[in-house]
Amino acid sequence: MNRCFGGKLLFGTRLVVSLCLLGLVHLFGSAHAQTIDPLPSWNEGPSKARILAFVQAVTDKSGKDFVPPADRVATFDNDGTLWCEQPMYVQMAFVLDRVKALAPKHPEWKTQQPFKAVLERDFKALHAQGEKGVMQILAATSTGMSSEAFNRIAGDWIAAARHPKFKRPYTELVYQPMLEVLAYLRANGFKTFIVSGGGIDFMRPWTERVYGIPPEQVVGSTGKLKYEMRDGNPVLMRLPGIDLIDDGPGKPVGIQTHIGRRPIAAFGNSDGDLQMLQYTAAGSGARLLLIVHHTDAEREFAYDRKSSVGRLDKALDEANAKGWTVVSMKTDWKKIFPFE
């Protein structure tokens, strides 16, 4: 309170009161910022420290690493980075369920691959159908309807489906520490985007509610759309065929097409995120490159170099070589899910 007493010697009473109030606000503001931990689900350690240091550096107006708010763009992979992707990508669970639901209308599927394999839960036979099989399943389950119809179907499914291990809706299986990072970045003037290999319309019905990320900030794999008049009503029909596979080298393409500027922070967990991390890293100025390493078989899953879902191999080598932040779920995260 020295400042206040000093002020009293120099100025009249009313001005002193104002200055004291300003001082109190200032002091209280600082104390407040120091005591409220923006990342309470993170254990103290180098990962947490680097996130905090990065945000402080790019928001410090007088520092050399300051970045104007408009350029504070952060991109997040979804599967395995923001929510659980094991034992299979959630959208894969969705399309397999859709095959089952639609099967009564398609008796031929009982003998026709790849549908036969799906209906018999024969994942080895399904895998043998390769990318062509996946495209056939996507076409049969996710096209030939309007965008709005698909949104309803996907939204209804996500509300009803349960994870096989955790027996909870998938939208509850989001990582609490990452929700805190999203909120912390936004509170510091960042615009947060999802950049996912998943279908853009599969994610949009719930990303705002679950992550606080609105539909227009979701970048994902994109199918062909066609504008049509049906009974005098304009609709966007979903056609077979993909315009963008927003995975691997497709992620920087999706970023440029949708966002139009290079992120200064990128978060991923697999080799599918490598190019997004490289592209983000290659810009000038302070950068945060972070990989979520699934190391916790007990609380979630443990997998990396040999997993068919969310393989983390080349990106782990590059992260180690370049000094990117590799988060160990087991040691860095106090809790994994919000409900714990």
- Interface residues with its own copies (CB under 8 A)? 70, 73, 147, 191, 193, 200-201, 204, 208, 214-218, 222, 225-227, 233-234, 236, 243-244, 249-250, 252-253, 256-261, 275, 278-279, 282
Kindly list the distances between the CA atom of residue 67 and the CA atoms of 16, 74, 82, in Å, as whole numbers in the listed order.
36, 12, 25
Q: Please give the full DSSP string across 39-103, using - where no structure is assigned.
A: -TTBPSSHHHHHHHHHHHHHH-TTSTT---GGG-EEEE--BTTTB---SS-HHHHHHHHHHHHHG
In the bound complex, what is the minimum distance in angstroms from residue 76's beta carbon to its own copies?
Answer: 15
Question: CA-to-CA distance for 339 and 49, rounded, in angstroms?
Answer: 25
CB nearer to its own copies: give 94 or 175. 94
Structure tokens at 323: 């000094």
In the bound complex, what is the minimum distance in angstroms from residue 112's beta carbon to its own copies?
Answer: 31
CB nearer to its own copies: give 70 or 160. 70
In the bound complex, what is the minimum distance in angstroms from residue 23's beta carbon to its own copies?
Answer: 24
CB nearer to its own copies: give 12 or 234. 234
CB nearer to its own copies: give 34 or 233. 233
In the bound complex, what is the minimum distance in angstroms from residue 264's beta carbon to its own copies?
Answer: 14
CB nearer to its own copies: give 191 or 294. 191
DSSP three-state, residue 340: coil
HSE, side-chain direction, 13 A CA sphere, residue 174: 18
Q: For residue 131, how many other CB atoms are within 10 A of its CB?
A: 8
For 104-236, where are the alpha helices, taking DSSP H only?
A: 115-119, 123-128, 130-142, 147-160, 176-187, 200-211
CB nearer to its own copies: give 113 or 188. 188
CB nearer to its own copies: give 244 or 302. 244
Residues 6 or more apart in contact with residue 169 via CB below 8 angstroms: 158, 159, 161, 162, 163
> Could you tell me how far CA 218 lies from the centroid of its own chain?
9
- Max distance between CA atoms of the chain, in angstroms, equals 93
CB nearer to its own copies: give 133 or 220. 220
In the bound complex, what is the minimum distance in angstroms from residue 280's beta carbon to its own copies?
Answer: 9
End-to-end Cα spacing for the chain: 43
Q: Are strands 233-244 and 218-230 parallel, antiparallel or unpaired?
A: antiparallel
Handedness of CA 106, 107, 108, 114 (dihedral sign): positive
In the bound complex, what is the minimum distance in angstroms from residue 271's beta carbon to its own copies?
Answer: 14
In the bound complex, what is the minimum distance in angstroms from residue 83's beta carbon to its own copies?
Answer: 19
Question: CA-to-CA distance for 167 and 259, rounded, in angstroms?
Answer: 36
In the bound complex, what is the minimum distance in angstroms from residue 324's beta carbon to its own copies?
Answer: 15
